[in-house]
Amino acid sequence: MKTTPIFVTATLVSLFMAGGMSTTTPNYDKRYGEAVRTAVAQQTINPDASKNTDPVTGLDGKAAEQTINNYDKSFSKPEKNTTLSISVGD
């Protein structure tokens, strides 16, 4: 049978190739999450912001409430339905 030597050869070649490969998992594991931690650190303007107890100044309560209500209402209006008609021929 010719299939047995081919099968044995293919099996041995695959075993030799798998044995020669080294794992990269330890390299990945020691740096796992580093990109996320770096991105969070770069996006944080003031890491001590939670320690600031000064009140926020700007809009008073009524103006802020009206602004939020207007913002909410802007999404509840239905869009205008525009119809497009194309005539071909007479």
| Segments making up each domain of the chain, as ranges | 1-43
Q: What is the CA radius of gyration of the chain?
A: 33
Q: What does pTM read for this prediction? A: 0.33
- Cβ count near 63 (within 10 Å): 10
List the pLDDT tens digit at each of the 90 positions of the chain. Answer: 566 778 888 887 777 776 656 666 777 788 889 999 999 999 999 889 889 998 878 888 899 999 999 999 888 877 777 787 888 876
What pLDDT, on the 0 to 100 scale, is given for residue 27? Answer: 75
What pLDDT, on the 0 to 100 scale, is given for residue 62? Answer: 93
What pLDDT, on the 0 to 100 scale, is given for residue 68? Answer: 93
